[in-house]
Structure 1
Amino acid sequence: MTELAALLAFTAAAALLTATPGLDTALVLRTAAAEGPRRAMLAAAGIALGCLGWGLLAGAGLGALLAASRLAYDLMRWAGALYLLYLGTKLICVPRHEIDAMGLDRAETGPAQPNWFLRGFLTNMLNPKIGVFYVSFLPQFIPAGASVLGWSVLLASIHNVLGLIWFGTLVLATRPLLNALRQPGVLRWLDRLTGGLFVAFGLKLAAAARD
């Protein structure tokens, strides 16, 4: 496979994977609808950095360690599951009641505000399945004799660009939802629904068996 053919094939495959609904999509959609586009794109940027981090680690060999070591995989899996369960439980137990309280109508600052970039980053970096996915998926598109680390970073970067374009499209599509979210009770139930989704993802990750 030539370098150009490898890039085109990976781009096509990554585009399909990016458009497949998952935890990242749920996080960005919820943040865009309930927190506004700026914070949603911060979360998207954090997710992208997490993917790039896994690309670096996969190229450097940590992805192979996770694939080979049950202990390393399980430790990362449980850390990710606990983090998702924490986020989901918080949304279920302490849902927001007013859209203004979430900073959509005014700028909010202060240490109490969540770091959406960090949240997006941790959501990806604490999911070992992404590491295992990268270490099994990326090598298929690395030409023979090419730098594994260099190509891993390049392919992860392409995946990130596609992801940011997709997330940007989602953010634009959610803007019309803001008026609906200002209706009484809608935001509260959106938080609870999203929290339930995060809890489900966390439980699924905790129960996931090694492939």
Structure 2
Amino acid sequence: MENYYLFVLMSIFLIILPGPDTAVVTKNTLLCHRIGGIKTSLGILCALLIHTMAAVLGLSAIIVKSAILFSIIKYAGAVYLIYLGAKILWSLMKKGEKEEVHVMIPDNEKTPCFKQGFLTDILNPKVAIFFLSFFPQFVKPGSGTVFPFLIMGITFTLLSAVWLFIYIYLIHHISALMKKPVAKHLIEGITGSIIIGFGIKLALEKAN
């Protein structure tokens, strides 16, 4: 493996770019507070580790090369993202004090934050494509890929964890300042729309 520090620097810039994971973490942090964001992040990190092992074992290459497998995973992920976004928007359409209280103070135990984070990342085949297109750039020609891919995957996951926990901290404290229901509903509506947008974008994308 070569240029490890360059890999770390590039990974940091890529990780902080907004994506489906960021949108889901934002939504669950706003709805379920800090614990919801942490559970969602843990689900995402578990999925990243699985993607790492898939890249190491060569499974990601199979998925990328198989149009059928790629399409199945891609559309499953797209449908799930659209479902999450639509669920948020539907909850905001419900009027009345009871519905508003339910939206504002959800039951953390009933909100599958971990599962939402895990499925959002594991059902995104673009992550597999990213690993297989980004990681080889930092491997010496002619050398093995198993150990370098494993190191890079773990590094990428750890950097993602640091960023997600910082992001959750910021979102939690920003949301604490937004006491008015209208402000929270606006943010939830925007987040739901963004998640649906990412779902549609994923469905329209093709493997390179």
Tell me if TM exceeds 0.5: yes
Is 1:42 equivalent to 2:39 in the alignment?
Answer: yes
The residue that corresponds to 1:148 in the other structure is 145
Secondary structure, counterpart of 1:94 in structure 2: helix
CA contact (8 A) 1:34 1:178 kept: no
The CA deviation at 1:192 is 2.1
Q: 1:101 aligns with which of 79, 101, 105?
A: 105
CA contact (8 A) 1:58 1:131 kept: yes
Structure 1, unmatched stretches of 5+, are none
C-alpha separation in 1, matches of 2:156 and 2:196: 26
C-alpha separation in 2, matches of 1:135 and 1:102: 39
In structure 2, the CA distance between the partners of 1:19 and 1:178, relative to structure 1 (3 Å rule), is: closer
RMSD: 2.0
- 1:124-139 residue pairs with structure 2 within 5 A? 124-139=121-136
The CA deviation at 1:28 is 1.7
The residue that corresponds to 2:95 in the other structure is none
Is 1:178 equivalent to 2:175 in the alignment?
Answer: yes
- 1:106-117 residue pairs with structure 2 within 5 A? 108-109=108-109, 113-117=110-114
C-alpha separation in 1, matches of 2:82 and 2:195: 7
Among all aligned residue pairs of Structure 1 and Structure 2, give the percentage whose two residues are the same amino acid: 25
C-alpha separation in 2, matches of 1:29 and 1:125: 18
The CA deviation at 1:143 is 3.7
Structure 2, unmatched stretches of 5+, are 93-98
The CA deviation at 1:184 is 2.4
The residue that corresponds to 1:159 in the other structure is 156
C-alpha separation in 2, matches of 1:29 and 1:138: 28
Secondary structure, counterpart of 1:114 in structure 2: coil
C-alpha separation in 2, matches of 1:147 and 1:177: 46
CA contact (8 A) 2:26 2:191 kept: no
CA contact (8 A) 2:42 2:114 kept: yes
After superposition, the C-alpha distances for 1:25-45 in whole angstroms (9 at most, x for unaligned) are: 222223223321111011111
Q: Greater CA deviation, 92-101 or 15-24?
A: 92-101
In structure 2, the CA distance between the partners of 1:100 and 1:74, relative to structure 1 (3 Å rule), is: closer
C-alpha separation in 2, matches of 1:38 and 1:165: 16
C-alpha separation in 1, matches of 2:197 and 2:154: 29
Q: How many residues align?
A: 201
Secondary structure, counterpart of 1:20 in structure 2: coil
The residue that corresponds to 2:190 in the other structure is 193
CA contact (8 A) 1:89 1:199 kept: yes
The CA deviation at 1:19 is 1.4
The CA deviation at 1:173 is 1.2
Secondary structure, counterpart of 2:186 in structure 1: helix
The CA deviation at 1:71 is 1.0
The residue that corresponds to 1:64 in the other structure is 61
